[in-house]
Amino acid sequence: MRSKKIFLASPHMMGKELDYVKEAFETNWVAPLGPFVNKLEDLFKEYMGVDGACALASGTAALHLAMKLAGVKKGDYVFCSDLTFSASCNPIIYEGATPVFIDSEPGSYNMSPVALEKAFLKYTPKAVVIVSLYGMPATMDKLVEICKKHNVPVIEDSAESLGSTYKGQKLGTFGEYNVISFNGNKIITTSGGGMLLTKRAEDAKKALFWATQSREPERHYEHKEIGYNYRLSNVCAAIGCGQFEHLDELIKIKQDIFNRYVEGFKDIPEIEMLKEDNDRVSTHWLSIMRLNNSKVKPLEIIEELEKNNIESRPIWKPMHMQPIFKEYPFFNHNESGLSVGEELFQNGLCLPSDTNMTKEEQEEVIGVIKSLF
């Protein structure tokens, strides 16, 4: 077995991060406020072309505050992508609302407009959470159009898709409220953290108020609303500012990793990679493989890679299959039978997509997988 592990996706420090962290320490700005927090928010407002940005302790915190901004309350319904990480839907429960899960479409693996239309025939939601998985853009124009037709706000979960575009527009700008994650495995990281992006500056200001314990502007501690300790620390924001300077470089490395997989598996018809079409540019945060009519199963590949000290992962298990969420409504893209998300979970695999991985190490990954066919 190789001694050095190949990771699925690990933090990739580019050099300036430590300088900025030292500056935060030297100026004693180590609390959950400070110049690097402000700078990171300004960088994202300019990069995304939005008026509001609120740097938070996690992407999940950003999703929670997006729910509150959308007015989600107990007894409401909220539609959510079914094939996703649980953080996309947990905040629905935080607010006492009911999640309604929407199946994927075959091409992008993201929310199906067909299934979304079915759900609107039965329920009137307070908001719709649209997730773009693994860097691959959802079919945003159709999904947003459906939501507008029903006058329902979109919460865009672009936690995994910073830098991706749909029809030339950056993900994280389609929704009324938009979320980016800076978790340690994302394209850029603040060690842990996230960003809430809003079309209106006043919405970001309200989110900031909630994120700092809903403290009223009084000399004493005055509270009229429930608040949260959700603010990103200045030290973490310093890391993020250093990472942001290399965002385009890190995206290019991710895309190169994906292209090497496509080339490496081109002669194996059972392997299908999650590719863009003319409307989508994906960062390929993770490179995704689907096995089509294959005798080799994803678990066999995962176990063979593990034997060689290489990390991989199954595709997300759909939320409607999760024990905690199985009683909630679900709408299938298909007319009957296995849903698109269930089929992808059975046959999908996340390949090592670590920007620290060398070309030689990736060729080793490809070789291990090819040996099974």
Residue 93: its pLDDT value, please? 98
Is residue 4 domain-resident? no
Q: For residue 2, is pLDDT > 80?
A: no
Structural domains of the chain, count = 2
Picking from 207, 223, 244, the residue at the C-terminal end of a domain is 244
Is 1 a domain residue?
Answer: no
Q: Do residue 234 and residue 274 come from a single domain?
A: no
- How far is Cα 194 from Cα 184, in angstroms, rounded to an integer? 11
Query: Are the CB atoms for 179 and 197 separated by under 8 Å?
Result: yes
Mean pLDDT of 254-264: 98
HEC readout, 307-371: HCCECCEECCCCHHHCCCCCCCCEECCCCCCCCHHHHHHHHEEEECCCCCCCHHHHHHHHHHHHC
- The residue out of 244, 272, 300 marking a domain boundary is 244
Q: Of 244, 276, 306, which closes a domain?
A: 244
CA distance 111 to 159: 15
Is 5 part of a structural domain of the chain? no
The pLDDT tens digits for 99-148 are 999 999 999 999 999 999 999 999 999 999 999 999 999 999 999 999 99
Token representation of residue 41: 């928010």
What's the pLDDT at 32?
A: 82
Print the domain residue range for 65: 16-244
pLDDT tens-digit series, residues 221-243: 999 999 999 999 999 999 999 99
CATH no. for residue 161?
3.40.640.10
**What's the rounded mean pLDDT across residues 173-201?**
97
| 350 and 277 inside one domain | yes
Query: Which tens digit of pLDDT belongs to each residue from 40-74?
Result: 999 999 999 999 999 999 999 999 999 999 999 99
Share of the chain above pLDDT 90, in %: 98
